[in-house]
Structure 1
Amino acid sequence: MSAEDNQSPKNLINIITFNVRATRTVGDDGIIPWINIARANEEILNLIDADEIVIDEELVILIVDYPFAEPQSFSITSNSGFTRAQLLIEIRAIFLELSKKQSIEIDALDLVALDVYKTDLGMIEIILDIDL
């Protein structure tokens, strides 16, 4: 499936956030409201609600627009829906592969949230909210 197969308009159905318990004190509550993509394997250990299923669908399309001129689409699948941890693992793998092919520096990329949309065709699309 490609991005051309998806229809507009899209309806925002959810925003998935990533909160990580800080290993060092950051603010009063010790919670960091993002996760670094390059360090996701380490930070996932401190991810709050990591095993919560946040998407019930078996197939979703990840739309990666930053740092590209044209957004790129990636299909990911799961037999039982997606947890925060599963989504992070998939996103990190995609960015690691992209960094090899296109010289993208992922160390400075923080994933703040995922905007989850449902298209007119019923497909679930996720757009990454990345902060530098």
Structure 2
Amino acid sequence: MMTIDNTVMLIILFIFLIEISPIQTIACYTCIDCGDPFDVQASNASQSLPVCAYCYKLTVYMAYAPTRYIVKECVQSCNESGYLFGGSSLEVNCCTSSFCNNALGMYTVKNIFLIMSGLFLLFFIGNIK
């Protein structure tokens, strides 16, 4: 006989199983000193096998050099970050669709979330009476 506790447990198990999805793998551009703006044909870039969890782009700006040093890679984990030190900077961008690390300024989930949150707050504050 089904009790309320059993029913709740079955519903929770069902929702959990629906939410589990197989790990999606993607392919990325891989290169060292790729150039900016990025040109696939003119660069030394290759295409990774579709075994990545993230595409990664590291950009290093040197205070004493007029150019940027860029590395693109296929990685299993990635944390976006940025550092500024003595006029030089280092920026790490991560994305999760195939060949998404080709862009000059990659739009990431974090950036999109921040933009959407800001728009929501503007809308919400504008409608308070």
What TM-score range do you get, normalising by the shorter chain? Answer: under 0.3
Is the radius of gyration larger for structure 1 or structure 2? 2
Instruction: Output the TM-score relative to the length of structure 2.
Output: 0.27
Structure with the larger helix share? 2
Instruction: Output the TM-score relative to the length of structure 1.
Output: 0.26
Q: Which has the higher contact order (CA 8 A, sep 6+)?
A: 1
Structure with the larger strand share? 1
